[in-house]
Structure 1
């Protein structure tokens, strides 16, 4: 599992006193930085590989300013050229968000997907999600 701690900002808080739902996808993306580094070690957008295809987010509880959140990211499935992530956001021992996201390893110059290289696949396999053993 990949873990990232985020400190909520005042500007992310909405009029009803909790973190705005539009902030959550940005935080989830922040939890993927280690994955981006696997596919793009120099983090250059010139040859960016990780293209998002789909994301679904389920809001479980409200998130508040003043307490850090923890983003947890597992690999749920590895295909030939795509991978599915299972992600959670926790705040103060409470599961607040669950998400599933699909990315494809993509060659922007040739405008087509590419097979995930074996060395990256091996690293991804170390972070596989096993239902009942990880998270909730």
Structure 2
């Protein structure tokens, strides 16, 4: 398992954070938040981030698709403490971008997530509009 980079473990590295509650149903038999529930927490945090930055704005016939999601589990998270999912843009390509996320509980990073998303149209990958690129630049994670 790759070791997370130091910036990934620092909530201040991320320009956006969303607090969400854990649920009793999120626990596994060992008493911690299970991996599927953690993936759902990341999905919810990423959805709130995307909604906040207006990723839904796109030309007719375009849509964005998740290409990959990579989650690294660092420490156990527990119910009933809330989880803060922090997000920011890690990389921007010609038609894709990566969102870096981290789940914090009690100020400690419990897991990290890198999601790659691509903008598409009827012909395949579509170039990112300049206004969205500028928004992504503004919301980049601080890696140094």
TM bin, normalised by shorter chain, reads 0.7 to 0.9
C-alpha deviation, 1:99, in angstroms:
1.4
- Structure 1: any 5+ residue segments left out of the alignment? none
Structure with the higher helix share, 1 or 2: 2
- Could you tell me how far apart the structure 2 residues matched to 1:80 and 1:21 are? 32
TM-score by length of 1: 0.84
Q: Name the residue aligned to 2:79.
A: 65
- Could you tell me how far apart the structure 2 residues matched to 1:17 and 1:48 are? 42
Is 1:122 the counterpart of 2:122 in the alignment? no
> Which runs of structure 2 are paired with 1:31-42 in the superposition (5 Å)?
31-33=45-47, 34-36=49-51, 38-41=54-57
Query: Is the CA contact (8 Å cut-off) linking 1:76 and 1:84 kept in structure 2?
Result: yes
- Could you tell me how far apart the structure 2 residues matched to 1:87 and 1:57 are? 9
- Could you tell me how far apart the structure 2 residues matched to 1:100 and 1:113 are? 20
Say if 1:67 and 1:89 are closer, same or farther in 2 by CA, change over 3 A. Answer: same
C-alpha deviation, 1:41, in angstroms:
4.5
Is 1:101 the counterpart of 2:115 in the alignment? yes
Q: Name the residue aligned to 2:41.
A: 27
| Greater relative contact order (CA < 8 Å, ≥ 6 in sequence) | 2
Say if 1:114 and 1:130 are closer, same or farther in 2 by CA, change over 3 A. Answer: same
- Structure 2: any 5+ residue segments left out of the alignment? 1-14
